[in-house]
Amino acid sequence: MELNTIEKSSGAPISARTNDSALEEIAFATGETELGTVLIARSGVGVCSIIMGSDGDELSNDLAERFPESRLVRDNAKLADDLHQVQRFIETPAVGLDLAFDVRGTPFQRRVWTVLLGVPAGSTITYAALASRIGERDAVRAVARACAANAIALGIPCHRVIRSDGTLSGYRWGVERKRALLAREGT
């Protein structure tokens, strides 16, 4: 397994992996927010997933699909602070998210996500501009797929990516959630 550390704009560490560890334990918890249910999951390295939806069972199934060889353990007590921080971020994005992340993806995805970490709250970037920033001007669709593959919603702010014409497009957790997040951030 390849493990690299890069810095988020907050200075908190972010570890990036190219593949999952078999039989690893991942703790998770769910909670309610103004945007629906949120699930947060943490490996021994850091937060490896923040996903949103309407149903906790669907989110648990999504997590199981993302980490099929890991042992998933519900642990609300262990993740209470992490969950509170995510809930607070949704209510007041200006407070930021200061969590250590365990990012898993291909080298291309990690390049996209690294650029996204530098897009501040209250700002947006187009898919085309994002492709240009990673030096892959013709990879706009691949950039969109990398955004869709992002397992750490809010932490890696793929909701800040918009179309070149300024309109909102797909968001893995629903365009209405994307619209609400951007409105809260003041864009």
Q: Domain of 112: which CATH number?
A: 1.10.10.10
Q: Say yes or no to pLDDT of 39 above 80.
A: yes
Same-domain pairing of 16 and 60: yes
Same-domain pairing of 8 and 73: yes
User: Radius of gyration (Cα) for the chain, nearest Å?
Assistant: 15
Q: Which of 59, 86, 158, 161 is catalytic?
A: 158
Least confident of 3-7, 49-53, 177-181: 3-7
Q: Please report the beta strands in the chain, taking only residues with DSSP state E, as ranges in sequence order.
A: 3-7, 13-17, 25-33, 36-42, 47-53, 71-74, 101-104, 125-126, 161-162
Query: Which of 70, 101, 132 delimits the end of a domain?
Result: 101
CA–chain centroid gap for 73, Å, is 20
Same-domain pairing of 144 and 90: no
Confidence grade of residue 1 (pLDDT, cut at 50, 70, 90): very low
Indicate the residue type of 29: A
Instruction: Give the CATH number, domain containing residue 84.
Output: 3.30.160.70
DSSP single-letter state for residue 152: B
Whether 158 sits among the annotated catalytic residues: the reply is yes
Same-domain pairing of 11 and 38: yes
The pLDDT, as a whole number, for residue 187 is 56
pLDDT digits (tens, 9 = 90+) for 56-82: 999 999 999 999 999 999 999 999 999
Q: Say yes or no to pLDDT of 4 above 50.
A: no
Same-domain pairing of 86 and 118: no
Indicate the residue type of 101: F
Same-domain pairing of 7 and 97: yes
Q: Say yes or no to pLDDT of 186 above 90.
A: no
Give percent of the chain above pLDDT 70.
Answer: 88
The average confidence (pLDDT) of the chain is: 87
Total number of domains in the chain: 2
Same-domain pairing of 118 and 176: yes
Same-domain pairing of 26 and 114: no
Same-domain pairing of 114 and 169: yes
Residue pair 101/155 in contact by the 8 Å Cβ criterion: yes
Query: Which of 84, 101, 118 delimits the end of a domain?
Result: 101
Same-domain pairing of 96 and 33: yes
Query: Which of 68, 101, 134 delimits the end of a domain?
Result: 101
